[in-house]
Amino acid sequence: MNKKYLALVLILICTLFTALGQIFWKVGVQDVVLGWQIIFNHSLWVGFILYGLGALLLIYSLRYGNLSFVHPFLSLGYVWASFFAFLYLKEDFPIMKILAIGLVILGTFFIFRGDKK
């Protein structure tokens, strides 16, 4: 597989994991009072694990792609997080957010197409 495509696949999975980690954090923190409850909250731990895996995938993707190529794809985490927040947390998804998400996706597409390596 081409290094550019491998970096892309790794960073896309990274953004998926980090967005899911944030969803688990949001769910886990809903009924937590600061203190010992944090240590025993399964949702928070799942969030930490997913976020940690995402960080490892980011590091690994940097091995195969330039930082200027890989880093902008982290913005896709916002796309995933918004989608999951709408789907699972029942958050609003107004037209302006949809347009902004479209621009983020379009921007990452231009970065992908413009990278020579």
Are 50 and 73 in contact by the 8 Å Cβ rule? The answer is no
Q: For residue 31, what pLDDT is reported? A: 74
- CB-based contacts of 101: which residues, under 8 Å, 6+ apart? 78, 79, 82
Chain mean position to CA 104: 13
Gap between the Cα atoms of 73 and 12, Å rounded: 7
Match 């399964």 to its residue by tokens.
42
Instruction: Give tens-digit pLDDT for 23-82.
Output: 999 999 887 777 777 788 899 999 999 999 999 999 999 999 999 899 999 999 999 999
Q: For residue 37, what pLDDT is reported? A: 75
